Structures are given as C-alpha cells and as structure tokens.
C-alpha cells in the first residue's frame, strides 16, 4: 500500500455501521501526524447509529446517533458502493462517484435472514435491522390497531434480536407470538434450563412462545396482506404483522463480485490481520469470516476495527505491525423485556461439571460449568439475576476463590481491587483490570465517567460498568479519596440527593429530572428508583402516564407475578384482625376463581393462581367487601403484625391489636427504597416477633418500647432499642419521623437494617435527628407523613373506576376474554398447584 502524491494513505471505508464507525474513530484518535486520508461511504441515508439499542428507538424514541467524525473525514451517506475495481483500486457508488483508494476496508455488515417460506413477500411482513425498518413497522402497526385490532403479530426468531423485536411489536399495541425453530429461546447463548426460565419470563409478560416449531407458510387475507402464519404442528396464528428476526447473513456481495475469497456459507475470508485475499483490502465486522467464524456481537467487531486501524497506520508510516485478531470473548449480558440474561465463557463445555440452581418462584436460573476438579471456572448461564455476571465473567479460566456453590451465590465474589491485572473487564473493548487501574492512578481519575472516557470500558454494552465502578472505588479507597455515591452513570447524585432534588423542585416526571439533573436515557437502576421517589412524594396513581414505564414488573399489574405466569392477590388485613364476614368473602372469592389460599407469616391471606384478566374481577369483589390492596407487590409497607394483646391474652399489658391496626392504616401505601415490615407485641413474651422487623413495638406497663432496624430473610438482624415507655402519641411521632428519614436518605434497595448499620453515628445519631431535631427537619418529616396520610387512595379501587387503566389486565390484547392456554394446574392437598415447566421448585445440583 502506497500513499498518494501528498503522502497520505487513502483509506476508503465501505459501510458506516458500528464497526466502520469504530475503525474511523480509532484511526483519527491515533493518527496525530495525518498519515491517513479517510473516506466513508454509507448505504443508509443516515450516519452511524447504535444498533445494540435499536428497540429503544421505538419504545423511547431514543436518539441512537453515534458521535460524528471531525472534518478531516469525508462521510457520504445514502450513496451505496456498487462496484469495486481492484486493479484500478477504485470504488464506484450508485450516484456515479468514483473514489480511489490505497487501502479499502469493507464493513458492509450483515442482512437479516428470511427463510424461503411461501408468503414471505406479502405486505405486512418486515425485517428488524435498520431505523427505516422500524419506521415502517411502527406505521404499519399503528394502522393495524385501527383497522384490525383483533389481529396479532408474529416474530420469527427467538434469539437476541427476535426477542427485542417481540418487545417492540408488543410495545406498539399488538398481541405478540414468538416462533423459534430451536427447542428453547436464545439457543446460541443459553442452555435448555436457561432458555426454559427465560420463556417463563417472556410469557409472563403476555407473549406466547412457540419453541421447537418451524413455520411452514404465511397466508394472505382478502386484502392481499398477511393474515395468518401456519406452523409445522398444524396450528395457525392470526397475524396482521410478521417480523423476521431469525438471524443474519454476511453481506459479502461486493467481495464476491470483485473476486475476493468468500466462505462456502458466506462471509469475506480474512486472516488474523483482517486482510482479505487482496492485501490492499480488509474486512471487519459481521461481513468478515475469521478462521471459519462470523462474529455477530459488537465486541469482536470492535476488536477487528482496532486491529485494522493499527495495521493501516503502520502501513502509512512504513513500520511493522503485529496487531492481530485472535478471537473474542463471546460473553454477553443484556436485559430482555426487563429480564436479566447473561452467558459467559463456554457454557456448552461437555468436559466439565455443572453446578445449577433453579428457583422458579423468583424466576432465577444459574448454571456454572467448572473443571472436573471444581477449581476452574469455564463458563455459565444466568437468567433472572445477573448481578454476579461482571465478576464471574472476569474469573473465567482462573482458579475459583471458593467452592462452586459459594461462587454461584456470590459469597466470594471478587472485589474490584482483588482481580488479577490481566483480567479482561470490558470484553467489548478488550480493557483489562490493570489498564483501568493505571488510568485511574496516572490520570487521577475520580469519577466513573472519566474512567469510561479514558479506557472505553463500559461504553458499549455497559454490562461491565458495575465491575469498573468497584475497581474505581477500590483504587480511590486505597488512595484515601472519598468514593462517589452516584446512583448510576446517568445521575451523578445519590438516591438521597435525587429525593431532595425532586422534593425541592417539585419535579413530577423522570423525563424532566434526567434532562435537568442527569444525562442519557436512564437505565433499569435509576428508573425504578425515580419511580419510588415520585410515589413517595405523592405523585398520584403509580401507573399513570410516564410513571408506568418506570415501574418494576409486579407494579405493572398491581400484583405479584408467580412462577407459571399467574398472579397472587393479597388484600390488606390490618393487624391480622378480620371479621367472619370478610373471611367468608375471601373464601368465596378463592373458591369461585379456583385460587390457592395460604395464610402468610405476616398474618395475611394470599390467593394464588389468578390469571391477569381475572385480577379486576377478583378485586371488584374484594373492594366491594371493604378490602384494599395489601401492597405485596410494591416496595412499600407490607404488614404490621400483632398478637392479641391485652384484649384477650392474660399476659398482655397494652392493646397491641389496636396499635397495629392504627399503624398499618397510617402507613399503608407508603413507598420506600425497600419493603417495610413491622409488628406490635402486647407484652415482653414477644409473640409478634417485633424485634425481627423494620420497626417493632413491645408493650410495657408504662407504654411502648420502640425497636428500629431489624429484619429477617437472608441476613437476620435484631432491631435496636430506640426508646422506652413511650405514649401512643410519642410512638407514632417517632415512627413517622423514622420512616420519612429512611425514605429520604436510604440508598436504592437498602433495607432499614443496612441503612441503620451504614448511618454515620448509628442509633445515637438517629435519636439526635428524630428526637432532638439536630438537623432541624422534624417539622418537614412530620408534614411529609401528614401529606401521605391525607392523600392515601387505594390503588385497586382507583383502577377499577377507570376503564383506560383496566385495559392493561388482559392476557391477549386482541382476545381479552381468552385465558392464557399455557397456564396449567394440578391438585395437591385439595388445592391447585402450578404445573412446572423448568424443573423442581428449588434445586441446587452438582453433576
């Protein structure tokens, strides 16, 4: 490769997708001497954009544009290359433009694979690849919901893009089916157990999955557009829109036409330098075939771009370059429809031991593959809870810090400062732990955004951000620097700071908050936090307007989602006290709707097995009988448990039932960083187990003893004695202030026990704040609780009175009265029991 007469190497890049964009970025960042003159020729009518976040363009109207290049780069869009003349070293475009090159880089990407089935060319059939595809899909679905509201949608393909497409179609108001030819979803990333668990999550969101079921043909209706999809099992799906997202194929047509070597099944053949059979031509990204493999993930595509950038700069300067593409880490983590899904290492290794954990109740599946001596991590799959992914991925190929079971449950998860320097933290950009540490130390970096900007770690898929943050925190702590408590990369503020911002400014929407006090589009960390803050400050019905999109899964239907896609109904029973008449109502509702009934440890009655379309019918009867939501689905007050106290018990010294009822009715609906449980015992015998609660009250001869900061669960903690012999008025006042101060200052998902342990000064400081008014905020705390008590309204009663709100409670949008056929039960001990899909109820197994 030789430069032109001006001495610059003429580089032409064909294609301006993420890979081509990354190549140009790398060249411009490193080419300080102006050794390369770059021309980019893009086929689409717009410059490069983020395909990884494509669905957010539909769901959030997000701006996906990648940063533009400087003026030294000639970028032409909407003018595809039509011919390559390798002898003359020129490319010609559709407009007739001819561009000379010294080095040519093909970054033509891939095209959606559409199986050769009859009817695939019918109107109403789409692919899911570009912004233009999405614009056409949105327009069609808008027309469909008006002209044929009963028609469904079918997405062909249950892989990453297929499920993203399904989410988008459902978000456009169309009842959605997913058809996957493999026996389970995401077969390239997940094993059978993980795929089964993911399926349950997907179907719980109202979609129907047809796995292991090929499609035979698409059939037209009277208007000539697609009307149904025939499956190989003989069934037929009503469909007014069909989206093919069944994989991609390398776009190698230009290479074929100009005589470059291509693979038997497609792909431009390249060597470790990403060079084609012509030394002057390179290929990167999804069009390149490296050692018999085409890579469809962003990380290896970026690695190829980096290699070619180094090679081109070396050629321009006449120096040697050893940069080579040596394969890539195919680990991946993403959130599909609100469900965490991850795979790392090689989860399909047949020569290792499997350690698996299945919890269908929580919707969690975890599997580790370890060496036969159980000392080395080889790979794994996570569904439902991928919080351990960054550390687990970083440990692949290394000796485990503990037993496989300990690693699986996170008991010995490596801290950021403990990882070996060579550990790859960001596989998308091939950034090691030592590179991150060096940049932090040498550049005196103190913020996550600075680390990301300097190292590129966490700037692509974002899954490594928690681990990058831990490394940053470890380095800052070691250097004696105060660690940032920013909520996430979108907000530089902690949850407590955001709470105060919203309280003081009166902001009522996430959009305004992030526009004025954050950056970007938000994430699954900050959105639920802001939803909780808005609800805590009395922002109205939690599912109105923008707030609905911020809520956690259970809040979407004001009910707890259970393992088989049904929901549980939990009416409030304050203090555990209930009249026979109301008890009969609950029994009649359970009998008439065929529900499973269970008395809980919190003195409530759970009704399990309700289908989503049954929820309003069930709650109509309960509300008419005087019941209201027990908020079992929310991060809110759950129960105030009680014994029978002085009313019935010969040992009782105070009316524990009356106090428990008063407190539960006072704090019902109070949204918080985490769930809140309480109890009132009528004497020191402690039958209500008050010291295991967030706030607990024990009666004395002189009044009430108040205990704060306890909880049960995985980390049981006895509550601490806060005050003794309180009057009713003092007790209520201190509990009011305790709860409001906790809500105002706690971190995301922090229980009161952890909050109190982390509180600087602990219980003594808390006493100074809410008893002695050290901060001068007691009046504010009192007023905040008064506003909550005065504005409380039962969410289910509000829902039943609004037809628009009722529309969300259907299994199928186009058939609201049809029950979900995938829900099945069997009988055990004279009650229904869900028929499991993904194995035993709770399993930890080592094979």
Q: Is the pLDDT of residue 838 over 50?
A: no
Residue 398 has a pLDDT of: 80
- In tens, the pLDDT along 657-677 reads 999 999 999 999 999 999 999
H/E element holding 111?
strand 110-112
How many residues in the chain? 847
- pTM for the model stands at 0.58
One fold for 9-112+250-317 and 332-478: no
Identify which has the larger pLDDT, 420 or 242: 242
Q: Is the pLDDT of residue 504 over 90?
A: no
Any idea which fold 125-246 has?
A: FAD/NAD(P)-binding domain (3.50.50)
Q: From CA 357, how far away is CA 381, in angstroms rounded?
A: 10
Residue 461 has a pLDDT of: 66
Read off the pLDDT band of 846 (50, 70, 90).
very low
Burial class from Cβ neighbours inside 10 Å (0-12, 13-18, 19+) for residue 596 reads: buried
The DSSP bridge partners found for residue 344 are 380
Residue 841 has a pLDDT of: 37
Q: From CA 636, how far away is CA 672, in angstroms rounded?
A: 5
- In tens, the pLDDT along 469-495 reads 778 888 888 877 766 677 887 898 888
Using alpha carbons, list the distances in angstroms from residue 307 to 6, 494, 633.
Answer: 25, 39, 50
Q: Provide the sign of the torsion angle of the four alpha carbons 646, 652, 654, 656, taken in this order.
A: negative
- In tens, the pLDDT along 29-73 reads 888 888 899 999 999 999 998 887 777 777 667 778 888 888 889
Report the SS3 class of residue 79: coil
Read off the pLDDT band of 123 (50, 70, 90).
very high
Identify which has the larger pLDDT, 152 or 547: 152
Q: From CA 563, how far away is CA 361, in angstroms rounded?
A: 5
Residue 840 has a pLDDT of: 36
Dihedral angle at the C-alpha atoms of 765, 771, 776, 781, nearest 10 degrees? Answer: 100
CA-nearest of 800, 791, 801 to 536 is 791
- State the CB neighbour count (10 A cutoff) for residue 629: 25
611: tokens are 């289908």
Rounded to 5 degrees, φ, ψ at 264 are -60, -35
Residue 560 has a pLDDT of: 80
Residue 54 has a pLDDT of: 79
In contact, 105 and 21? CB cutoff 8 Å: no
Q: From CA 554, how far away is CA 556, in angstroms rounded?
A: 5
101: tokens are 């090159």
Residue 456 has a pLDDT of: 83
Identify which has the larger pLDDT, 182 or 391: 182
- In tens, the pLDDT along 403-455 reads 777 777 654 344 445 667 777 777 777 788 888 998 888 888 887 778 888 88
> 């009867």: which residue's tokens?
621
Burial class from Cβ neighbours inside 10 Å (0-12, 13-18, 19+) for residue 414 reads: buried
Q: From CA 461, how far away is CA 464, in angstroms rounded?
A: 8
Residue 510: which residues within 8 A CB-CB, separation 6 or more?
A: 522, 527, 530, 531, 534, 546, 547, 550
Q: Is the pLDDT of residue 683 over 90?
A: yes
Identify which has the larger pLDDT, 760 or 239: 239
In contact, 394 and 423? CB cutoff 8 Å: yes
Q: Does domain 332-478 have CATH number 3.30.390.30?
A: yes
Residue 845 has a pLDDT of: 45
- Provide the b/e sequence for 112-132 (b: ≥16 CB within 10 Å): bebeeeebbebebbbbbbbbe
Lowest mean pLDDT among 98-107, 123-132, 161-170: 161-170
What is the rounded average pLDDT of the residues 726-747? Answer: 95
Residue 411 has a pLDDT of: 42
Helix, strand, coil in percent for the chain, rounding step 5: 35, 25, 45
- In tens, the pLDDT along 353-389 reads 888 888 777 778 888 888 888 888 898 888 888 777 8
Read off the pLDDT band of 844 (50, 70, 90).
very low
- Mean pLDDT across the chain, nearest whole number? 86
Q: What's domain 9-112+250-317's superfamily in CATH?
A: FAD/NAD(P)-binding domain (3.50.50.60)
425: tokens are 């933290």
> 């925190």: which residue's tokens?
473
Q: What is the DSSP letter of 121?
A: T
**β-strands 248-250, 110-112: how paired?**
antiparallel
Residue 836 has a pLDDT of: 54
Residue 752 has a pLDDT of: 92
- Provide the b/e sequence for 222-254 (b: ≥16 CB within 10 Å): eeebbbbbbbeeeeebbbbbbbbbbbbbbbbeb
Cα–Cα–Cα angle for 668, 673, 675, rounded to 5 degrees: 50
Q: From CA 422, how far away is CA 433, in angstroms rounded?
A: 6
Read off the pLDDT band of 842 (50, 70, 90).
very low
Q: Is the pLDDT of residue 802 over 70?
A: yes
Q: Is the pLDDT of residue 401 over 90?
A: no
The DSSP bridge partners found for residue 178 are 155, 209
Q: Is the pLDDT of residue 570 over 50?
A: yes
> 């108001």: which residue's tokens?
173
What is the rounded average pLDDT of the residues 279-293? Answer: 94
Q: Domain residues of the chain, as ranges?
A: 9-112+250-317, 125-246, 332-478, 495-551, 556-791
Q: From CA 221, how far away is CA 229, in angstroms rounded?
A: 11
Read off the pLDDT band of 781 (50, 70, 90).
very high
Residue 336 has a pLDDT of: 66
- State the CB neighbour count (10 A cutoff) for residue 707: 23
Identify which has the larger pLDDT, 62 or 141: 141
765: tokens are 């400081």
Burial class from Cβ neighbours inside 10 Å (0-12, 13-18, 19+) for residue 265 reads: exposed
Residue 623 has a pLDDT of: 94
Ranges 205-214, 280-289, 382-391, most confident: 280-289
**What is the distance in angstroms between the CA of the first residue and the CA of the last residue of the chain?**
56
Q: Does domain 556-791 have CATH number 3.30.413.10?
A: yes
The DSSP bridge partners found for residue 100 are 90
Residue 216 has a pLDDT of: 92
For 295, half-sphere exposure in the C-beta direction (CA atoms, 13 angstrom radius) is: 28
CA 95 to chain centre: 43
Helices (H), 46-130: 54-59
Residue 549 has a pLDDT of: 60
Q: From CA 202, how far away is CA 167, in angstroms rounded?
A: 9
């Amino acid at each position: 490769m030789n430069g032109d007469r001006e001495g610059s190497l003429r580089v032409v890049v064909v294609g301006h997708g993420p890979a081509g964009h990354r190549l140009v970025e790398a060249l411009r960042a490193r080419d300080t001497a102006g050794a390369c003159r770059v021309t980019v020729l893009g086929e689409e009518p717009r410059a490069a954009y983020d395909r990884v976040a494509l669905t957010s363009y539909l769901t959030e109207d997000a701006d996906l544009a990648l940063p533009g290049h400087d003026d030294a780069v000639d970028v032409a869009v909407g003018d595809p290359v039509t011919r390559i003349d390798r002898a003359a070293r020129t490319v010609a475009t559709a407009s007739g433009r001819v561009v000379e090159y010294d080095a040519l880089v093909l970054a033509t990407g891939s095209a959606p694979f559409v199986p050769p089935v009859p009817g695939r060319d019918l109107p109403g059939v789409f692919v899911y690849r570009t912004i233009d595809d999405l614009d056409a899909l949105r327009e069609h679905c808008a027309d469909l919901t008006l002209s044929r509201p009963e028609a469904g949608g079918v997405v062909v393909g249950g892989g990453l893009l297929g499920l993203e497409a399904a989410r988008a179609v459902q978000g456009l108001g169309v009842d959605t089916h997913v058809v996957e030819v493999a026996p389970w979803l995401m077969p390239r990333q997940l094993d059978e157990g993980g795929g089964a668990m993911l399926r349950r999550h997907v179907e719980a969101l109202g979609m129907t999955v047809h796995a292991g079921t090929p499609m035979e043909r698409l059939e037209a209706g009277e208007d000539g557009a697609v009307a149904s999809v025939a499956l190989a099992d003989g069934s037929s799906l009503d469909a007014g829109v069909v989206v093919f997202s069944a994989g991609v194929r390398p776009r190698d047509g230009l290479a074929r036409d100009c005589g470059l070597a291509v693979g038997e099944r497609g792909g431009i053949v390249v060597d470790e330098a990403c060079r084609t059979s012509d030394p002057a031509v390179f290929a990167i990204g999804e069009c390149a075939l490296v050692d018999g493999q085409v890579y469809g993930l962003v990380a290896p595509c970026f690695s190829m771009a980096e290699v070619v950038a180094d090679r081109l700069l070396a050629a321009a300067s006449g120096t040697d370059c050893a940069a080579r593409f040596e394969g890539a880490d195919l680990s991946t983590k993403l959130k599909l429809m609100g469900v965490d899904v991850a795979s790392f290492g090689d989860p399909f290794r047949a020569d290792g031991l499997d350690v698996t954990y299945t919890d269908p109740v929580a919707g969690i599946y975890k599997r580790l593959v370890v060496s036969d001596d159980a000392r080395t991590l080889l790979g794994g799959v996570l569904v439902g809870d991928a919080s351990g992914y960054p550390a687990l991925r970083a440990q692949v190929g290394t000796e485990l810090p503990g037993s496989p079971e300990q690693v699986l449950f996170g008991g010995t998860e490596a801290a950021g400062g403990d990882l070996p320097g060579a550990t790859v933290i960001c596989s998308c950009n091939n950034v090691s732990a030592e590179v991150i540490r060096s940049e932090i130390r040498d550049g005196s970096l103190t913020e996550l955004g600075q680390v990301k900007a300097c190292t590129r770690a966490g700037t692509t898929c974002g899954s490594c951000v928690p681990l990058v943050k831990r490394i940053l925190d470890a380095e800052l702590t070691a250097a004696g620097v105060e660690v940032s408590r920013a909520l996430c990369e979108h907000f530089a503020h902690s949850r407590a700071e955001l709470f105060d911002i919203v309280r003081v400014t009166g902001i009522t929407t996430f959009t305004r908050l992030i526009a004025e006090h954050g950056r970007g589009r938000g994430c699954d960390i900050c959105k639920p936090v802001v939803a909780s803050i808005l609800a805590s400050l009395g922002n109205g019905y939690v599912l109105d307007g923008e707030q609905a999109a911020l809520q956690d899964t259970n809040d979407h239907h004001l009910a707890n989602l259970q393992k088989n896609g049904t929901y549980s109904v939990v009416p409030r029973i304050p203090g555990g006290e209930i009249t026979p008449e109301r008890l009969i109502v609950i029994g009649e509702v359970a009998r008439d709707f065929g529900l499973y009934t269970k008395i809980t440890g919190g003195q409530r009655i759970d009704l399990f097995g309700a289908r989503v379309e049954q929820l309003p019918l069930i709650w109509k009867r309960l509300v008419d009988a005087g019941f209201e939501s027990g908020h079992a689905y929310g991060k809110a007050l759950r129960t105030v448990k009680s014994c029978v106290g002085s009313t019935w018990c010969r040992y009782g010294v105070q009316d524990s039932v009356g106090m428990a009822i008063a407190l539960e009715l006072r704090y019902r609906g109070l949204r918080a960083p985490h769930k809140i449980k309480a109890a009132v015992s009528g004497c020191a015998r402690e039958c209500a187990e008050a010291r295991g609660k967030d706030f607990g009250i024990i009666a004395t001869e002189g009044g009430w003893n108040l205990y704060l900061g306890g909880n049960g669960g995985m980390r049981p903690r006895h509550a601490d004695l806060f005050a003794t012999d309180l009057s009713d008025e003092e007790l209520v006042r201190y509990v009011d202030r305790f709860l409001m101060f906790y809500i105002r200052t706690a971190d995301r998902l922090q229980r009161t026990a952890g909050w109190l342990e982390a509180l600087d000064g602990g219980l003594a400081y808390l006493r100074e704040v809410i008893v002695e008014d050290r901060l001068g905020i007691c009046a504010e705390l009192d007023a905040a609780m008064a506003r909550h008590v005065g504005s409380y309204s039962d969410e289910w009663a509000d829902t039943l009175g609004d037809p628009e709100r009722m529309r969300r409670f259907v299994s199928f949008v186009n058939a609201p009265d049809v029950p979900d056929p995938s829900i099945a039960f069997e009988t055990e001990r004279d009650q229904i029991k869900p028929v499991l899909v993904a194995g035993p109820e709770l399993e930890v197994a080592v094979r």
